[in-house]
Amino acid sequence: MRLLAVLLCAVLSSFAQQQAVVLKGGKLLTVSHGVIENGVLVMEAGKISALGSASSVKIPKSAKVVDVTGMTVYPGLIDSETSLGLTEISAESSTNDRIELSDEIMCLPCGVGGDSSNSPERHHQRHRCP
């Protein structure tokens, strides 16, 4: 968690300076381009300006490069402290987002609410998330 906080501080402070920020070497999960192994994500002026494999994306010379090798980069904002809406109707299993198995990104709500029975590890054991 501390590493994530440091990473976010570095990224946000760089945005304030309008310096390009590059996340390099991680597994990028995208909405429209699938999974990119050893990917590069370039952010300039608060927006994603380039995304792709390390061999296909040119990194700006003045960019702040953050090595995310061994990490997974997800799109969007993730609030890991909420359980609102994970189960809308208790009697209807299709409304339980904790057991959603359709996509790798959908496994994000697994470990919420501070309940160890809902930890990502226990969820993967029970439901075999991709």
pLDDT tens for the chain, residues 1 to 130: 566 565 666 666 555 557 899 999 999 998 888 899 999 999 998 888 999 999 999 999 999 999 999 999 987 766 666 656 566 666 676 666 666 666 555 444 444 455 555 555 555 555 554 4
Q: Residue 33 is part of which domain span?
A: 2-73
CATH number at residue 56: 2.30.40.10
| 22 & 66 share domain | yes
- Number of structural domains in the chain: 2
Residue reference for tokens 């609102």: 84
Beta strands in the chain (DSSP E): 21-29, 35-44, 47-53, 64-67, 72-73
* Cα torsion angle, 32, 124, 86, 2, sign: negative
| 48 & 8 share domain | yes
| 96 & 68 share domain | no
Question: Residue 26 class from Cβ within 10 Å (0-12 exposed, 13-18 middle, 19+ buried)?
Answer: buried
| 8 & 65 share domain | yes
Give 54's contacts (C-beta < 8 A, 6+ positions apart): 24, 25, 38, 39, 40
| 69 & 10 share domain | yes
| 81 & 61 share domain | no
Is this model's pTM higher than 0.85 or not?
no
